Structure 1
Amino acid sequence: MSLEEVMKAAKGVSNMVLAHEIAVDKNFKLEKFDPPDNSIEKQVRDVMHKAFWDHLAQELAQDPPTYDQAFVLLQEVRDNLLDITLPHHNKLRQEISETLDVDLIKQQTEHGLLDFSQYSQYVLSIMARLCAPVRDETVRNLMKESDVLSVFRGVMETLDLMRLDMANFTIQQIRPHIVAQSVTYEKKKFAEYLKTQNDGLELTRAWLLSHVKPEDLTVPDDLEIRGVVNSVINRAYMELLSWPDEKMFPETVVLDGSRILELRDRLSQVCILGSVLLVTLTAVGPMITQPDAFKLKLKRNLCIILDPALSDSETLALMDNLAEQIIKEVEDHLSENEKPQLPQSAKNALKAQVLEIKNPEHRIRSLISKRSVEFIATLLGSTTTSPVQIPPGLSTLQEELAHICGTFLRLVAHNRSVFGEYYVDILTDHIKTERQKKQREEKKEESPKENAVACTSSD
């Protein structure tokens, strides 16, 4: 393929990523990019910005002033103002173009009539009409500023933010249309991407085929293949909730890789929290007057501790904090109900039991995890709207588990709408090929027996 075709396909993938993000994330918005502190990129940007404003200040300080840099600035301001106008602002766009006409401004400077501060006030008046309410105070403060350079520096920074505001407003307005068209669009762009690859489904194929069981290859006819394929796809999706960090995602899942890993860690956190609650109530249950109320309060306070933890390792690092909070909650409850406090030996034993949950093979943690996964698998494979029972031990965490399930099922539904045809083709071809291979082997085994029978009859 030509370089132009490859670059076109790469751009298509970038557009597909953006459309996908908008479609699956209802809170999607563009944000201003700030390079990390002490990075080369930030140093270069800061040096270039300082050089620009220093040069502008030197030109304006000359006698008579020089306005070469000022013309560049006004032209950029004009272009940015035009960028943040709405489609129906025809008269306003015409007014901005005429007022900030660089050729006209150059003529004014030649006759000594240029009032640079007058243009700054005009620009601010336009910004006040166009900005979102969140920018009103910033614009008002700039209007009070007397130093022209400070005003224009603030104008450029605020215009950058206003362009982001306008872009995000536009995204929210067209989001329903993007959601409605995203499946068709992503299919088209992914097909274009596949044309640039020798095998653009290599990882996807390996991912799916790893979930084919021996009994899946014994389906007697094509009519039953459909049900088998559906089961295999569901098993493959469930594997994503335990996907290793170091393993590459299938090509058809990679767009949601970060979301899947986040769901994986959130599910692990919910299972750890469920295990902690179960261990605690088992250990101190007889001492608790109102176990349901105590459990809800304990959950809320433990969730506050766990809230900053975004990964599984961060959750495990907070286990000591959880154990200390649990002991405090138990002691507070006993004090409020005028009951004897826990002896130190009981506190130590409770803390030790909680910390044992760090082990993934912990009996209760394994049980809670197994129940959670089975619950999600049941929902994933369900073809009805009938309610599904929350697993025992996780009823207190129903809200958290429901959020994980809802997010995961939405991702799966979207992914399957876009790539389902590839999944079905890969699995159907594999099952049919393996079935035909088995049939040929069976015929080969039967042929010697038939020949032997024929020879015996001949004798």
Structure 2
Amino acid sequence: MSSDEIPSGSRTHNDDEAPSTSNQGRGRNLSESSDQGSKRQRTLSESFFPGLTNASPPKFVSLEEIISAAKGMANMALAHEIAVDSNFELEKREPPENSLHRRVKETMLKAFWDILSQQLQEDPPNYTQGLVLLSEIKETLLTLLLPHNTKLKEEIEEVLDIELIRQQVENGSLDFPYYANYVTSVMAKLCTPARDDCIRKLKQETDTVSVFKGILETLELMRIDMANFTIEMYRPLLVASSVDYEKSKFKEYIKVNPDGLEVTKQWLFRHVSPSTSLASADDWREVIAQAYLELLTWDDSNAFPETLVMDRSRLAELRNEVLRVTVAATVLLLVVSSVPQLQSNAAFKISLKNHMLLLLQDCHTDKDVEGVLANVSAQAVQDCNAALPEPLTPEHRTTVESQVMQVMADNHKIRLLVFQRIKEFLHLMITSTVPSQLQVPAGLSTFTKELSGLAARYHRLVSHNRSVFGEYYTDILSTFQVPNGV
């Protein structure tokens, strides 16, 4: 049997898909009630996890404690992003197109540059706005310097001496374009190659206001470049220390919000039954592993475990990717089973896989998949005809189309088998001591690239989460009690 034929059987585990709980949002701004003083504080469960109801009466804490914990959670979120996303970098944030924020920002900026232009055109020129601008530019340039740039720092301090420039203004001897040229020359020394074109255009610009406008815009980008350079340089250290940092910040959060793990408890307890053994560390790890696997079929309308909120969007994308790969692999297995001549045609299988994933790329739910099955079916037939010496007969074509159109049936054995094998593969990935040596499941070798990438991201998220919150999980499981009457 070829590696992509329909498997005749499988060593499946029992599916532990349990019902989930309520929707969970990311952090929100803290606000204060204007009611009586005793009620003005809000617990963090309301602030960071809106919609949750505490299991016990709320513990009121001071506003200062809440603000401190909020700052800690914000810093924790940034550290977490750097730790789990190897491609994380800061980007320039722009308000949405046509938003009030954007219109206000554009109006304020236009007013600033209009005032500068008007002042420079006065006789004699008025440099009030210009001095403010030069002072800001100087401070920004200094923030872009590395510790070893001592000579350049001294030069900037000397050339952009604001007091000296103010004296030049009073004497009527200020050469504003000279300072624009100096600033662009310094920027050329400090910028990354990606900003060379910006600097070159600035040097060619003759309008003074346009030059300074371009300088500020480019400096903003250079500050982001510097921040990303710093993140990349210290990434190994940040990743190494992020677990302890996140632990300490979450501990602060729990201190002011003792009931902040209610959804997490429900999530873990769903995977423990009266017959579940918790006698060994391996038993505990298995329960936690099954809880992690539940995230691959999570219903977005349900609450999310507090310990995983910062990874909710990433886990949702992994869930969606599992769905897409499952459907694409099922279609491939059905097609090569129906058209045996193509079972050993690797080029055909790669082409069909790519076409299936392309058609499914916007699918996030079963309903989304059902909406594109007609196109998937037509593409499968087209790919078969392109790879065969003779096109499929009308009867054969109808068979292929019919099989593909039934892929999302509730009890579709092949799709459920494919999902189970993917799930087992991911289970091994998060429980194995040597995950890098795992093999892709039988019948899914065409999807090695997709499954390997998916598994690597899943393993990274789970490993980091387990390192930070593993102690909380074991503490929660240690409190499990068999319900009365069971």
Task: Give TM-score, length-normalised by structure 2.
Answer: 0.82
1:114 Cα deviation after fit: 0.8
1:319 alignment partner in structure 2: 373
CA distance in 2, matches of 1:30, 1:310: 28
1:348 positional shift: 4.1
**Kindly, what percent of the aligned residue pairs are identical?**
46
Deviates more, 1:17-26 or 1:289-298: 289-298
Query: Among residues 137, 142, 157, which one is paired with 1:77 in the alignment?
Result: 137
Deviation string 1:125-174 (CA, Å, 9 cap, x unpaired) is: 00000000010111011101111111111111111110010000000000
1:378 lines up with 2:420 in the alignment: no
Q: Mark the runs of 5 or more structure 2 residues left unpaired by the alignment.
A: 1-60
Say whether 1:368 aligns with 2:418.
yes
Q: Provide the rounded CA distance (Å) in 2 between the counterparts of 1:342 and 1:274.
A: 21
Q: Which residue of 2 aligns with 1:197?
A: 257
Pairs within 5 Å for 1:414-425: 414-425=464-475
Query: Which residue type is aligned with residue 386 of structure 2?
Result: D
Unpaired runs of at least 5, structure 1: 443-459
**Counterpart of 1:453?**
none
1:238-249 to 2 correspondences below 5 Å: 238-249=293-304
The residue aligned with 2:327 is: 272
- C-alpha distance in 1 between matches for 2:349 and 2:116: 65
Letter in 2 for 1:354: V
Alignment correspondent of 1:37:
97
For 1:387-398, list aligned pairs within 5 A: 387-398=437-448
Distance 2:455 2:405 in 1: 27
Give the structure 2 partner of residue 6 of structure 1.
66
Please give the secondary structure, in 2, of the residue aligned with 1:114.
coil
Q: Does 1:356 align with 2:409?
A: no
Aligned to 1:109: 169
Structure 1 distance, partners of 2:96, 2:128, is 32
Query: Which structure has the larger Rg?
Result: 1
1:155 aligns with 215
CA RMSD of aligned residues (A): 2.3
Q: Does 1:292 align with 2:352?
A: no
Query: Given the alignment of the two structures, is residue 309 of structure 1 paired with residue 362 of structure 2, yes or no?
Result: yes
Report the 3-state secondary structure (helix = DSSP H, G, I; strand = E; otherwise coil) of the residue aligned with 1:43.
helix
In the alignment, does 2:328 pair up with 1:328?
no
Conserved in 1, the CA contact under 8 Å of 2:429 and 2:435? no
Does structure 1 residue 260 correspond to structure 2 residue 260? no
Distance in 1, matches of 2:378 and 2:205, equals 53
Give the CA deviation at 1:50: 0.8
Which whole-Å CA distance do the structure 1 matches of 2:410 and 2:139 have between them? 58
CA distance in 2, matches of 1:270, 1:70: 58
Q: In structure 2, do the counterparts of structure 1 residues 106 and 160 end up closer, same or farther at CA, with 3 Å as the change threshold?
A: same
Q: Does 1:236 pair with 2:236? A: no
The one-letter code sitting in structure 2 at the alignment partner of 1:197 is: N
2:268–2:477 Cα contact (<8 Å) kept: yes
**Would the aligned equivalents of 1:82 and 1:93 in 2 still touch at CA under 8 Å?**
yes
Aligned length: 425
Q: Which secondary structure state, in structure 2, belongs to the residue aligned with residue 374 of structure 1?
A: helix
Kindly provide the CA deviation profile for residues 96-124 of structure 1, in whole angstroms up to 9, marking residues without a partner as x. Answer: 12322222212111111011111100000
Indicate conservation of the 8 Å contact 2:325/2:357, yes or no.
no
Q: Which residue of 2 aligns with 1:186?
A: 246
- Comparing 392-401 with 251-260, greater Cα deviation is found at 392-401
Q: Could you say what secondary structure the match of 1:215 adopts?
A: coil
Task: Please say if residues 275 and 357 of structure 1, whose CA atoms lie closer than 8 Å, have aligned partners that are also in contact.
Answer: yes
Does the 8 Å contact 2:352/2:380 carry over to 1? Answer: yes
State how far apart, in whole Å, the 2-side matches of 1:90 and 1:360 are.
69
CA distances 1:396-421 after superposition (whole Å, capped 9, x unpaired):
11221121112111211111111111
Q: Which amino acid aligns with 1:238?
A: L
1:166 aligns with 2:216: no
TM-superposed CA distance for 1:196, in Å, is 1.5
Question: How many angstroms apart in 1 are the aligned matches of 2:257 and 2:69?
Answer: 10
Distance 2:112 2:372 in 1: 48
- 1:149-205 CA distance string (max 9 Å, x none): 111111111111100100000000000001111111111111011111131111111
Matches of 1:144 and 1:383, distance apart in 2: 59
Which whole-Å CA distance do the structure 1 matches of 2:156 and 2:410 have between them? 64
Aligned-pair distance for 1:209?
A: 1.1
Distance 1:332 1:63 in 2: 77
Structure 1 letter corresponding to 2:441: P
More helix by share: 1
Code of the residue aligned with 2:465 in structure 1: it is N
Aligned-partner Cα distance in 2 for 1:359–1:28: 39
Partners of 1:34 and 1:57 in 2: CA distance: 25
Alpha-carbon distance in structure 2 between the residues aligned to 1:367 and 1:153: 60
Say whether the 8 Å CA contact 1:372–1:391 is kept in structure 2.
Answer: yes
| Higher RCO (C-alpha under 8 Å, 6+ residues apart) | 2
Tell whether 2:467 aligns with 1:413.
Answer: no
CA distance in 2, matches of 1:82, 1:314: 52
Greater CA drift, 182-191 or 102-111 = 102-111
Give me the whole-angstrom Cα distance separating, in 2, the residues matched to 1:144 and 1:167.
Answer: 28
Name 2:57's counterpart in structure 1. Answer: none
Q: 1:343 aligns with which of 393, 399, 405?
A: 393
Whether the aligned pair in 1 keeps the contact of 2:84 and 2:461 (CA below 8 Å) is: yes
Instruction: Tell me which residue corresponds to 1:449.
Output: none
Q: Tell me the alpha carbon deviations over residues 40-95 of structure 1, each in whole angstroms, 9 at most, x when there is no partner.
A: 11111111111111111111111121111111111111111112111221222222
